[in-house]
Structure 1
Amino acid sequence: MVLRSYHLARDGSVGSRRRKGNEPSYKRASPVSCQESAQTTWEFFKKLNERCVECSLCRKQLCYHNSMTSLREHLRRKHNLSELDLRQSQDEGSSSSESMGQEHEVKNKPVSISQLVLHDARPCSEKREEVISDLILGMVFRDLQPLSLINNEGFKRLVGFLEPSYKIPSSTLLATSLRHKYTIAKLQLEHHLHSVPSLTLSTDTWTSQGKQTYLTIVGHFIDCRWRLARCVLKTTPQYNPAPDYIGEVLYTVAGEFGVSCKAVSCVVHDSASGLLSSARLLQERFGWSSLCCAGRMLQLCIKLGLQVEQVQHTLSVARRIVNHFVHSPRANAELGAKLAEMNKERLALVMDAATRWSSTFDMCERLLELRWAVSMVLEEDRAGSLTVQNLSDHQWKLLQDLLPILKTLKVASSFLSEEQNASVSSLVPCLHGVITALMHHHGDPGCIVRTVSAKIRTEIAKRWHLPDDDVMMESPAIVASFLDPRFKDLRFLSADTRDKVHNKVKNMLSSAVVSPQSHSSSSSSDEHSAREHELGGKHRDRKGSHRPGQCEYDLLFGEDPTERMPEIHQQLESYLTEPLRKRNTNPFEWWKNNEHRFPAVANLARQYLAIPATSVSATTAFFCSNSIPDLARSALLPEDIDQILFLHKNFDYIESLKRYRQ
């Protein structure tokens, strides 16, 4: 009897536990009660006494009058935790309790914000607040973000979770910090530019999303470690594209950084129109030579070279085919199935862009690679054939013949976009190589490919004045090539032109050392040598020296050519006797290691090798039509754009200079 009652009691207890375990499931299906909400709120507070509580997040003490309103308001205002966050926390906690029976589900249950926040978090110190504020400001100018970023709800919630006691600065305070950091960085860059012997300016014109045209001015120079530096100096709205306006802006910006007109050696324009309109004015007023961006100029030459009716029609049909497969899921799936049947890798067709000529080569190459699969899909798809026609046999052959020409130009662009070829010293040798290579792809007389090749070669030669030696002599690119240890032989020029370049560089070295101090020092040295000659003569007479003079040796060997040659000319001759370096040699590294051997020539090389071949970065000029930084730049607000772009491009370089000095 006792045993029977024991079993009944045990069964009753189990049944009661099951009923109790099932009851909360019905309550969780209903809205959250006030008692449960209050319990969630109490997770963030500790009760000190009947009238005072302490926040577990910021350790702030609050008055308590048996009401949760003030506590929830503190969580909302101070820690960005709304009533919805508290309810989500309670719902996530209650829903996760349903899977308490299995250990792996407990481990993978959703974690609420209240569970992750450190309840024993201490107030944020002033030093830590400064570090966080500086990191937020760095995120603005490093990632090209607007100052309104701090007003975004997602950003507030993230910062509130990571550092609950940190107070996010206002937009006004962040703008003040941005101006302060910009002013300090600008002063540091200005101080550094005072020690730069030569500076090249380049212009970059672009348009924002608000359709406002901006002019960004960039300074290029070689620093003390022989690094080709590229620093943004100014970004200003361009209201007047007149030639005198560009010249005045460049002159004003150079003056802001304390750079004299004599220190500016060259200006690289971002367009051919800007070069033609302002080159003569800059030369007459300031003595600055001008070049055009090689990327923009080469783009224009290729565009004009492809302006042949048959070529344009073939490229138009090819674009329609690619567009059909890109925008039609059914056609794309059929192409993939056909490639699988042919045991070929599934590759996607590429659409070219009007502002990026290298994409035309990519489109033609990929289309020719998938020619048979594309043709079979278009022939089997009758619905598609009504809207998209396949290329004819002679059009396929035309694309095949155009490919070597476009590949030659792409190889040239890849060469100029490499780091060691960023200087204008690589430009003229590369252009001569392009012309020579295109002559091997001339094709049969009268064929279309021969016409395209001839037009591209003509445009390149005309825009860079390659056949005119006298005009080429005035270009800084020729002197830069002569000072590049890879191209100093100037094999692409005639022998007479090479001699002229040699004499021009020799005159530059002579004029570089001529100064009042050099005149006074030379006169004093002449007097000193004359006095020594007199004393030496008397001394020789007294001793009766029988050694023959130098002039007697000249009877045997002739006059020593190094006797009357200045030291700087000896350096130049020694530089010319150096063997040519390989094409993959970095000229900046070579001069860094050999500057002590040819100091005068190295100073001239520092001036001319600092001239870039492109006004923008080489990768952007040749291959990228719209990069992510360019898209982010166009979305910035006008009042902050100058300071943000300045810090975005220059801050890391200025910091590296500070570390180098230390």
Structure 2
Amino acid sequence: MVTTFHPGYTLPSRTHFTKLMEGKYEATFGKLKDALKATKNKIALTTDAWTSVATEAYLGITCHFISDDWELNSFCLTTMPLEERHTGTNIAAWIEQAVERFEIPLSKVVAVVHDNGSNVVLAANILQEKHGWVSVRCAGHTLQLVINRALKHPQISKALGAARCLVEHFKSSELASSKLKTKQKQMGTPEHKLVQDVSTRWNSTYYMVTRLLEQRWPLTATLSDPAVTQRGKHYLDLKADQWTLLDELAKALQAFECATVYLSGENYVTVSALPPLVRGLLKSTHTVYDTAPVQAFQAAASEETTARWSREVTITDDDPSKQIIAAALDPRFRKLKFLTPEERFSVQNKVQALALQSSRNEEATAASVDNDDTAERTPNRSVSALDSLLGCDSTDSDSEANNYQDARNQAIINEVLMYFGEQPLSKTESPLSWWKLNEAKYPTLASQAKSFLCIPATSTPSERLFSAAGNIASKKRASLTPEHVNMLTFLHCNLKHL
């Protein structure tokens, strides 16, 4: 067709487009590298592994930080092709390699968010021991484990199995699917398609159940039509007690679905919401239902939630988790109502200690720079033995320094007390917008807020890389090299932000 319209035109070669892509990648890589160098604030990482249709393994790594203008920034660092065994030691080394490639100071990384896989947990523990990077387990994956365990009741498993068979029947039968649409119109039911759940996403089970409940009567009517459903397949319709069970199960799952969706967000602060959300989930498991299987689900969900998140919502040895510190630095949750009065006091003391330590670190860094400048400009002055003994030269300056430090410490203590004394921000408002307006009022705490509120509650950002990578490394593009998959994914995720 091109020859018809322009006989003399020569199509660019594959090599031409490859060079364009590689050049664009290098330019964008340089821009991101400069952006990460420019920020003075802490950076959090998320990581996850994936296997393409060509059975090639990749490690996705994203970074997250709060800008000086209080905007939450998220970038893809790499979709790194993996050729060696996925051991904890290797994964830790690969994450370090990605950080070093962008010349991010190791001290600038605050946390690594990851799933509950034993090899990734080991990698995070190695990085925490070596560099002090906090290991944060993905809240979404933890919720998956909680719900999977709670759904194991025999009657629930049987009802869900029947629901899957029902959905599969309509998915595989064009006649049944067409008749269902007719029944939906006749009954005034929303013309929605049925949802098939997948084992790796528990909330897909919730969506499957709620859609079946919505379409119950059109489904039953379709299955009852002998022109559509063979006599031997009438069993596909759920029994009355199964419909009742699924109705109550959907209500019990609703709180967990709400938490999952919220915590998976990438464009707003999430980590600080985890402690109050966990307490809210525990409260939801106290709701009483009529069916014994759903009562068993509630008990199992409560037990699993408590076991898997005890560290995130309670305080051990006066050492609150990073999630609780983040909640304290989020003006929406600063009253810490999910804690006991004693625990609140402990958290406020910890925040105060962190603020004081941060101030000392800043002053030490500034003093080191000043001393270096002074050493370059001024020769050393010898101090007489008598002056040294009497301390006449140092007493005044030491006293002034001590007075300044005492005043500085008191100012920080007052800052902390004033912050916790304010009324909490509405849950619907942005904590980052609040900090932008109040940074001058609480300068030391603002610095701490940037260090903690940048941490995502889930590793969903790195999982989302593979949605892009999956489209790129599709069956029609399975011959792409792993390096080019990495480049294209990097460009897809970052170009719009740089």
Q: Same fold (TM over 0.5)?
A: yes
- Compute the displacement of 1:408 (Å): 1.6
RMSD: 3.1
- Check conservation: 1:472, 1:478, Cα contact below 8 A: no
2:277 to 423, 430, 435: 430
Change (3 A) 1:420 1:588: farther
Q: Deviations over 1:437-466 (max 9, x none)?
A: 2212x325x811111112122222212225
Counterpart Cα distance in 2 of 1:582 and 1:452: 33
1:502 to 340, 348, 363: 348
Which deviates more, 511-520 or 296-305?
511-520
Q: Using the aligned pairs only, state the percent identity.
A: 32
Structure 2 spans left out of the alignment, 5+ residues: 371-392
- Which residue type is aligned with residue 363 of structure 1? M
Q: Deviations over 1:102-150 (max 9, x none)?
A: xxxxxxxxxxx5xxxxxxxxxxxxxxxxxxxxxxxxxxxxxxxxxxxxx
Please give the TM-score of this superposition, normalised by the length of structure 1.
0.64
- Compute the displacement of 1:213 (Å): 0.9
- Compute the displacement of 1:481 (Å): 0.8
- Which residue type is aligned with residue 403 of structure 1? A
Counterpart Cα distance in 2 of 1:481 and 1:224: 21
Tell me the residue number matched to 2:243. 396
- Check conservation: 1:417, 1:619, Cα contact below 8 A: no
Which deviates more, 258-267 or 507-516?
507-516
- Compute the displacement of 1:173 (Å): 3.1
Counterpart Cα distance in 2 of 1:331 and 1:341: 15
Q: Secondary structure at the match of 1:465?
A: helix
2:197 to 331, 352, 355: 352
- Compute the displacement of 1:492 (Å): 0.7
Q: Deviations over 1:414-438 (max 9, x none)?
A: 3334566443111221121111122
- Compute the displacement of 1:353 (Å): 2.4
Superposition pairs for residues 577-616 of structure 1, below 5 Å? 577-616=421-460
Q: Are 1:306 and 2:151 an aligned pair? A: yes
Q: Deviations over 1:328-374 (max 9, x none)?
A: 22223333444444454444332222222222222222222232332
- Which residue type is aligned with residue 425 of structure 1? S
Q: Are 1:187 and 2:30 an aligned pair? A: yes
Tell me the residue number matched to 1:362. 207
Change (3 A) 1:315 1:80: same
Tell me the residue number matched to 2:104. 259
- Check conservation: 2:153, 2:297, Cα contact below 8 A: yes
Counterpart Cα distance in 1 of 2:317 and 2:473: 38
Tell me the residue number matched to 2:483. 639
Q: Which has the higher contact order (CA 8 A, sep 6+)?
A: 2
Tell me the residue number matched to 1:230. 74
Tell me the residue number matched to 2:419. 575
Counterpart Cα distance in 2 of 1:574 and 1:309: 54
Change (3 A) 1:465 1:571: same
Q: Deviations over 1:528-556 (max 9, x none)?
A: 69689xxxxxxxxxxxxxxxxxxxxxxxx
- Check conservation: 1:420, 1:584, Cα contact below 8 A: no
Q: Are 1:481 and 2:321 an aligned pair? A: no
1:280 to 125, 128, 146: 125
- Which residue type is aligned with residue 601 of structure 1? L
Structure 1 spans left out of the alignment, 5+ residues: 1-78, 86-112, 114-159, 533-561, 655-662
Change (3 A) 1:340 1:184: closer
Change (3 A) 1:339 1:289: closer
Tell me the residue number matched to 2:380. none
Superposition pairs for residues 506-525 of structure 1, below 5 Å? 506-515=352-361, 516=364
Change (3 A) 1:209 1:564: closer
Change (3 A) 1:529 1:282: closer
- Compute the displacement of 1:640 (Å): 0.9
Counterpart Cα distance in 2 of 1:346 and 1:402: 23
The number of residues matched between the two structures is 461
- Compute the displacement of 1:505 (Å): 1.4
- Check conservation: 2:47, 2:61, Cα contact below 8 A: yes
Change (3 A) 1:395 1:248: same
- Compute the displacement of 1:398 (Å): 0.7
Tell me the residue number matched to 1:88. none
- Compute the displacement of 1:175 (Å): 2.4
- Check conservation: 2:37, 2:104, Cα contact below 8 A: yes
- Which residue type is aligned with residue 631 of structure 1? N
2:316 to 470, 474, 492: 470
Counterpart Cα distance in 1 of 2:114 and 2:267: 21
Counterpart Cα distance in 2 of 1:530 and 1:211: 68
- Check conservation: 1:324, 1:388, Cα contact below 8 A: no
- Which residue type is aligned with residue 229 of structure 1? N
Superposition pairs for residues 557-572 of structure 1, below 5 Å? 565-572=409-416
Tell me the residue number matched to 1:157. none
Q: Deviations over 1:284-316 (max 9, x none)?
A: 222211012222221221122111111111111
- Which residue type is aligned with residue 156 of structure 2? V
1:171 to 11, 14, 24: 14
Please give the TM-score of this superposition, normalised by the length of structure 2.
0.83
- Check conservation: 1:408, 1:438, Cα contact below 8 A: no
- Check conservation: 1:420, 1:586, Cα contact below 8 A: no
Change (3 A) 1:339 1:192: closer
- Which residue type is aligned with residue 605 of structure 1? A
Superposition pairs for residues 19-418 of structure 1, below 5 Å? 80-81=2-3, 85=4, 168-196=11-39, 197-238=41-82, 239-381=84-226, 384-387=230-233, 389=235, 390-418=237-265
- Check conservation: 1:351, 1:359, Cα contact below 8 A: yes
Change (3 A) 1:475 1:483: same
